[in-house]
Amino acid sequence: MALLKLKNLKESNAFLNTLLDNVDSLIFVIDKDLRVVQINEAFRMFIYKQDEEIDQDFFGKVLSCGYTVNESVNCGSTNHCHLCEFRNGVLKSLEEEEVVKKRLARAIYLKDKEAQRHFQFTTRPVDFQGEKMVLMIIDDITEMEEKKEKLKQLNEIKNRFLGTVSHDLKNPIGAIQSLAYVLLEEDLGEEHKTYVDEIYKASEYMMRLVEDLLDIYKIETENGRMNLRRVEYIQILQEVIDSHRITAKDRRIQMILEVAEDAGTLMIDRNKILQALNNLIDNALKFSPQGSKVVIRGYRRSNHFITEVQDEGPGIKKEDREKVFQEFYQGSLPFETNRVKSTGLGLAIAKKIVEAHNGEIGMESNQKGTKFFFAIPIAH
């Protein structure tokens, strides 16, 4: 407060009070006997109390804590006080001079009505002219928590829907696909062959979509639970590169693996990481021009293992970079292919897999190419 020149102590005091009264958080100061000695306007508005009503009352009572009201005893004397996180935070700041930050849900009385609220609070020790006090800052995060809960429920409904629909679609689509395949072997006229071929391709695309949706459903509902095993990581990289050799050869793309022989082992879900890598390499090959290079790198950096897939493709426009990990986002292909139509779920699935390993995925791109990378913690 050295910048603003105030005439005297009274003026600077008034200025500080104005500042405190304009903060949205509930702020109050508690003395060593756990009595409230100062509050700000946000707090007054929240608890519908005036300074005279508070006048050095215990902070739990000032806050109209549900325990003190229901048991009609003072803060510090209810059956719950020893477990009260507010109280324990204040005591810790007083006794051990520590800053405490916590979240909690608590019943309090607002306008004489009991309400369950979610709070985030900080208690901070302050020493004023040799007297120990605690500055308590509380934010009411009830609305945010309720929205979070609602979103969680909606996500669960979405997942159930996704799981049921995609599972139940698999059999009929499989039947259409195999019957179309059988018909293609028959002696059909040119026109009919084209129709059946279209049916076959459409069912192949639907099957992929259903399988990708089922993958997302599984990762989300299993709560990201991965089947972790210790594996030699270089083998995984080699395996996934080998599985793309034919596509790479067809498109005259050179795949280069740069990883130390002694890269070591990682605790991962082998199949899931293979799936994530598969998509990154599939993309790199799909978006690269003929005759270019795709480099797959693996190296340790402090306590993470980084995998990079770098191509010499057209790059991803700045405005699209945010979107590539979103479900169903698809940019256009820079050239024609006759592959199975894509679903735009590959990177969304890869991201979920990496995050389920407590890792992070990202990308860098310019007109000379794109590099996707992910980091997995090296478990000890």
Ligand X SMILES: Nc1ncnc2c1ncn2[C@@H]1O[C@H](COP(=O)(O)OP(=O)(O)OP(=O)(O)O)[C@@H](O)[C@H]1O
Q: Which residues bind ligand X (CB under 6 A)?
A: 279, 283-284, 287, 311, 313, 316, 324, 329-331, 342-348, 370
Task: Choose between 134 and 316: whose C-beta lies nearer to ligand X.
Answer: 316
CB contact at 8 A, 149 and 103:
no
Task: Choose between 124 and 321: whose C-beta lies nearer to ligand X.
Answer: 321
Q: How far is the CB of 245 from ligand X (least distance, A)?
A: 18
Q: What is the widest separation between alpha-carbon atoms in the chain?
A: 101
Q: How far is the CB of 231 from ligand X (least distance, A)?
A: 24
The answer to the question of residue 283 lying near Mg ion (CB under 5 A) is: yes
Encoding tokens for residue 106? 């608590």
Q: How far is the CB of 216 from ligand X (least distance, A)?
A: 11
How far does the chain reach from its first CA to its final CA, in angstroms?
Answer: 49
Q: How far is the CB of 324 from Mg ion (least distance, A)?
A: 9
Q: How far is the CB of 62 from ligand X (least distance, A)?
A: 54
| Euclidean distance between CA atoms 172 and 179, whole angstroms | 11
The answer to the question of residue 343 lying near Mg ion (CB under 5 A) is: no
Task: Choose between 154 and 340: whose C-beta lies nearer to ligand X.
Answer: 340
Site string for Mg ion, 303-342 (x = CB under 5 A): ----------------------------------------
Task: Choose between 50 and 337: whose C-beta lies nearer to ligand X.
Answer: 337
3-state secondary structure of 115: strand
Encoding tokens for residue 335? 């050239």
Q: Give the position of tokens 């369950």.
A: 116
The answer to the question of residue 369 lying near Mg ion (CB under 5 A) is: no
Q: How far is CA 49 from CA 57, 106, 135, 326, 356, in A?
A: 12, 19, 19, 48, 47
Encoding tokens for residue 105? 């849900």
Encoding tokens for residue 300? 């340790």
CB contact at 8 A, 217 and 209:
no
H/E element holding 70?
A: helix 66-70
Task: Choose between 55 and 331: whose C-beta lies nearer to ligand X.
Answer: 331
Task: Choose between 123 and 343: whose C-beta lies nearer to Mg ion.
Answer: 343
Residues of this chain that interact with Mg ion (CB under 5 A) are 279, 283, 346
